[in-house]
Amino acid sequence: MQEIRELPLLVVDELPSKKMKGRNPLALFHPEMEKYLEVLREKGYELVIDPTNSLYGAGAYFAPSEKLISLNPNSSWQTFLHGFQHLEFHELIKREFYTFQDKIIRQGSSMEDLLQPEIVSYLGPKKIQRLDKLMGQGLPVTAVNETMSVSDELDLIGFKKWVPSALGGKLTSAALTQDYALRHQINELRKILDRGATLTDAQKGALRQALLKRLGGNGVLVADLLIMGVPPVAIISGGIHYIKEKNIYLYKDDEGSWHIVQGIKKNQ
């Protein structure tokens, strides 16, 4: 795998003159790519095409240390926007993330007051509002970053009716995209618990909300259990799980919903 990465990357110097219409065409053929490419270059980044991305299961990646955004030749505009948001986040927010977050939580500040006015107008009110909300919930940096990228994707593809991932069936592309952000939120908050630290009330609220959205109606129970410190493995894998704290058995059905197994109780 390493040798593949050593191959010279194809730097995009010129975009194809042919443009594609529609909401979500291929990134390289999108009429607005020229504009984005300019911003990217101004910040010292390059856009590269690397067909080996797909070997890693990625549609694109953002590599701040190599100063590039890498796409597959057939990456969609949606995928590019996801990567481009990571670049913006890296350049404008990441370095001072926890300082900003502290001010939002403790002093009720807004990113509008914390960022330079030109950055505020560059990001626009919608993104500022999103940052305030997510950072105010105490979500860790990766969770906020991924959620912001996903929100940009959803702005483009449209957010249809929410389909909880755990209910199985066909997921809309929007639901899959949203699910990606929720997984990051849950995982990053879980890492705090894994370190043995406790969650703030706002973080517990965010965790509960994310779990509820992922798990549908049975999420209340599962969120409750997680917050009480039940090992995550009991929650994420299939099969029947004994939850010591509540002396109950849970199982996940084929459609991904959680149920309490009635009639079995361990004698304590």
Nearer to Zn ion, 147 or 203 (CB): 147
Number of residues that bind Zn ion (CB under 5 A): 2
Tell me the residue ranges of DSSP E strands in the chain.
Answer: 10-11, 46-49, 60-63, 68-71, 240-243, 248-252, 258-260
State the minimum distance, in angstroms, from the CB of residue 237 to Zn ion. Answer: 25
Q: Please list every residue from 69 through 88 that binds Zn ion, using CB under 5 A.
A: none
We find the least distance from the C-beta atom of residue 223 to Zn ion, in angstroms, to be 24
| CB-neighbour burial class of residue 63 (10 A; exposed 0-12, middle 13-18, buried 19+) | middle
CA distance 61 to 68: 8
Residue number with CB closer to Zn ion (149 or 218): 149
Q: How far is the CB of 61 from Zn ion (least distance, A)?
A: 8
Contact between 124 and 92 (Cβ < 8 Å):
no
Residues 6+ apart with CB under 8 A from 73: 28, 49, 51
Q: Among residue numbers 239 through 268, which ones bind Zn ion (CB under 5 A)?
A: none
As measured in angstroms, the least distance from the Cβ of 210 to Zn ion is 16
* Phi-psi region at 196: left, alpha or beta (left = phi > 0; alpha = psi -120 to 50): left
C-beta of 132 vs 152, nearer to Zn ion? 152
Minimum distance from residue 192 beta carbon to Zn ion (Å): 20
Q: Which is nearer to Zn ion, 177 or 218 (CB)?
A: 177
CB 203 within 8 A of CB 139: yes
Which residue, 61 or 159, has its beta carbon nearer to Zn ion? 61
User: Considering beta carbons, is residue 110 or 165 the nearer one to Zn ion?
Assistant: 165
Residues in 113-172 at the binding interface with Zn ion, rule: CB under 5 A: 146, 149
Select from 193, 196, 194 the least CA-distant residue to 206: 193
In which order are the strands placed within the sheet that holds 248-252?
Answer: 240-243, 248-252, 258-260
Is residue 163 helix, strand or coil? coil
* Closest chain position to Zn ion (CB): 149
Q: How far is the CB of 150 from Zn ion (least distance, A)?
A: 8
As measured in angstroms, the least distance from the Cβ of 146 to Zn ion is 5
Strand partners, 240: 251
Is the CB of 149 or the CB of 203 nearer to Zn ion? 149
State the residues that interact with Zn ion by CB under 5 A: 146, 149
